[in-house]
Amino acid sequence: MENKPISEYTADDLGIMDVAGDEQETTISWYRRDAVASVYTSDNTMLTKMKKLMAKSPDCKLKNITWSKDGEPTGYFFEVPVRFVKVLKPKEVSEEQRAALSERLKAMRETAQDNDD
């Protein structure tokens, strides 16, 4: 990945990180009166989410990149509005609901495949 000024990076420029799974982390922090939150991630799954957010919203800004000695990215720092940060309880789905969702998805895939043919 090319090392250039932070302001020149787009979401498409951000490359995945070669960080061991048990060392990947994401930290989100802000002070109560702040309008923006700082997000640091060395987790590729979170990086994908941040790249999508960065592409959709000018409010999500890349602030810094940490680099390995080999010139590969090891972490990304972003800034997002605090209103973007949510902590949600996972949706609880019964086995019956899960089965119904599975059947609907299967039918949708079959319809899409029939339309492609």
The structure tokens listed for 39 are 């997000």
Helix (H, G, I), strand (E, B) or coil at 68: coil
Is 86 inside any structural domain?
A: yes
pLDDT, position 116: 74
Counting the structural domains of the chain, the total is: 1
pLDDT tens-digit readout, 16-67: 888 888 999 999 999 999 999 999 999 999 999 999 999 999 999 999 999 9
In a domain, 45, yes or no: yes
Q: Exposure of 4 by Cβ count < 10 A (0-12 exposed, 13-18 middle, 19+ buried)?
A: exposed
The contacts found for 98-104 with CB under 8 angstroms, 24 or more apart, are none
In a domain, 113, yes or no: no
Contacts 24+ apart (CB under 8 A), 63-70: 63/6, 63/38, 64/6, 65/6, 65/9, 66/42, 67/3, 68/18
Task: Please state the pTM of the whole predicted model.
Answer: 0.76
Rounded Cα distance, 51 and 43, in Å: 12
10: domain range?
Answer: 6-91
Residue 103 lies in a domain: no
In a domain, 69, yes or no: yes
- Residue 117's pLDDT band (cuts 50, 70, 90): low
What is the mean pLDDT of the segment spanning 106-116?
A: 86
Confidence of residue 76 (pLDDT cuts 50, 70, 90): very high
Average pLDDT score over the chain = 92
